Amino acid sequence: MEKTYFIETYGCQMNVADSELVAGLLQREGYRETKDIARAAAIFVNTCAIREHAEDKVHSRLGEFNRIKKRRPEVIIGVLGCMAQNLKDVLLENKPYVDIILGPDSYRQLPQILHRKTENKTHIVDTKLSRFEVYDDLFPSRREGINAWVSIMRGCDKFCTFCIVPFTRGRERSRSISSITTEVEQAVEDGFVEVTLLGQNVNSYHHEGKEFHDLLEEVAQIPGLRRIRFTSPHPQDVNRTLLETMAGHRNICNSIHFPLQAGSNKILKRMNRTYTREHFVALTDMIRELIPDVGISTDIIVGFPGESEADFQETLDVMNHVQFDSAFTFKYSPRPWTKAAQYSDQVPEEIKQERLERLINLQKKHTLSRNRRLIGKVEWVLVEKESKKSSRQWAGRTDSNKWVIFDKGSAKIKDLVPVRITAAHGVTLQGQQLKMEEAA
Ligand code: SAH
Ligand code: SF4
Ligand code: F3S
């Protein structure tokens, strides 16, 4: 049978980057990617465990893989990533069609496991977490494109009481600056014009005395790199030096993901977020002061155990003060092993739902008003793809991470062009491309 693989990815960008790493390993073994799951010799699903809903999606996909396995018993089915780690026993008992289960620190073993697997039929499981694995020397196989994901640190030691990540991904560890810059240089040589530096706590990066802002300085010097983004920073490790580094380099985007989670000090403390509402607000004020026209996005959880209406109101108050440009909003979902799952004062589902809707409505207003401020202004937009609505228009992002739709004209994909913003509808902007000399 021809050596082909199919890989499907759930969860955050770290998982996207890990799937590219796995693709690189498989290709070195002579495997070729196929988009046709019905023909693949090996099927992988890279999983996420962050909320129950994420796990449900993977379970339903595994049901589909089971049907494929019944028709083609020789196909190899592999579960990778964050669920592999926490569900290995359940998977082994209930899903005998799964051949391989590998946690996020075990991908190096994949080639050897595939060899063994073709010879015998036993299940192979490795979900041990490592204190050292950063896949320093392995180059990911990236699809051609605009943005290259580059993972710079792995794991998390913060132990927010709602979060499963410290259990699925293990302890925090960082790559060397030189291995990161080599990878970024390679990506630029391969035609990428933007990189996004990735880590569960990207700004907790430290390696041999170097901090995250030192890394940013070095990456910003790489010739040909138009844009640098990073995600996800933890507010605890955002400081003036980092913000000044961002402000001091044109190719470091003026956009920051700044996860609030909750606006009440009582809830923040119970979440073990290590900052107060006052500190968070002071930091956002400093971000807006030091980085002109910055775009700030956030993550917010509603219905954390013990959240009263008054606590929730405090979240809305912080939102009203900060006016986030966008927000990812979630209903609290209890996760195995986490402290908060054991709290007795869980919030009923209807209340979570009702708070979520109020929060989304408020955010919509803020997004619209932040976007409307740009009408009439000129933004530099990186042309990324064709608009979904019209083949005559491009879609690209501003530095501050907002999507803009505009007529194609003479611009090409990967061009960085000046666009005058003409309208704002919901999350997207409309614009008109200017000539370079008009932008000055
Ligand atoms: N390391 C990142 C978060 C990664 S998880 C950070 O600290 O910002 C992405 C988001 O999922 C979190 O910011 C949080 O808002 C949400 N999340 C995590 N665990 C959750 C849970 N148990 N229920 C609901 N949302 C959760
Ligand atoms: Fe989870 Fe908190 Fe770590 Fe983010 S910082 S990954 S929310 S434990
Ligand atoms: Fe999900 Fe794991 Fe990322 S739990 S959000 S894929 S780190």
- Cβ of 159 closer than 6 Å to ligand 2, yes or no, is yes
Tens digits of residue pLDDT in 298-336: 999 999 999 999 999 999 999 999 999 999 999 999 999
Instruction: Kindly give the residue spans of alpha helices, DSSP state H, lying in 323-375.
Output: 349-372
Of all residues in the chain, the percent with pLDDT exceeding 70 is 99
Q: What is the dihedral of CA 397, 403, 409, 414, to 10 degrees?
A: 30
33 in Cβ contact with 41 (< 8 Å): no
How far does Cα 191 stand from its chain's mean position? 22
Under DSSP, is residue 194 helix (H, G, I), strand (E, B) or coil?
strand
- Cβ of 48 closer than 6 Å to ligand 3, yes or no, is yes
Tens digits of residue pLDDT in 189-210: 999 999 999 999 999 999 999 9
Tens digits of residue pLDDT in 93-125: 888 889 999 999 999 999 988 888 766 667 888
The residue whose CA has the least distance to atom 4 of ligand 2 is 200
Per-residue pLDDT for 230 more than 70?
Answer: yes
- Cβ of 200 closer than 6 Å to ligand 2, yes or no, is yes
| Structure tokens belonging to residue 401 | 């991470």
Per-residue pLDDT for 86 more than 80?
Answer: no
For position 121, what pLDDT does the model report? 65
Class of residue 436 by CB neighbours under 10 A (exposed 0-12, middle 13-18, buried 19+): exposed
Tens digits of residue pLDDT in 161-170: 999 999 999 9
| Structure tokens belonging to residue 354 | 């009702």
Tens digits of residue pLDDT in 371-428: 999 999 999 999 999 999 999 999 999 999 999 999 999 999 999 999 999 999 988 9
For position 440, what pLDDT does the model report? 65
Q: How much is the pTM?
A: 0.96
For position 110, what pLDDT does the model report? 93
- Compute the distance from residue 204 Cα to the ligand 3 centre, in Å: 17
Mean pLDDT rounded to a whole number for the chain? 94
- Cβ of 332 closer than 6 Å to ligand 1, yes or no, is yes
Per-residue pLDDT for 1 more than 80?
Answer: no
168 in Cβ contact with 211 (< 8 Å): no
The residue whose CA has the least distance to atom 19 of ligand 1 is 163
Per-residue pLDDT for 16 more than 70?
Answer: yes
- Compute the distance from residue 39 Cα to the ligand 1 centre, in Å: 36
Instruction: Kindly give the residue spans of alpha helices, DSSP state H, lying in 248-290.
Output: 265-271, 277-290
What is the number of the ligand closest to the CA of 260? Answer: 1
Structure confidence at residue 436 as a pLDDT band (50, 70, 90): confident
Partners of 255 in the β-ladder: 295
Please give the Cα distance from 76 to 72 (Å, whole number). 9
- Compute the distance from residue 433 Cα to the ligand 3 centre, in Å: 38
Partners of 433 in the β-ladder: 419
Atom of ligand 3 nearest to the CA of 54: 1
Phi, psi of 414 (to 5 degrees): 80, -5
- Compute the distance from residue 21 Cα to the ligand 2 centre, in Å: 23
Atom of ligand 3 nearest to the CA of 14: 3
Longest dimension (CA), the chain: 67
Please give the Cα distance from 123 to 26 (Å, whole number). 19
- Which residue among 50, 57, 105 is best mutated to probe the pocket of ligand 3, counting the most ligand atoms within 8 A of its Cβ? 50
Residue 177: how many CB atoms within 10 A of its CB?
18
Per-residue pLDDT for 258 more than 90?
Answer: yes
Atom of ligand 1 nearest to the CA of 328: 15
Structure confidence at residue 8 as a pLDDT band (50, 70, 90): very high
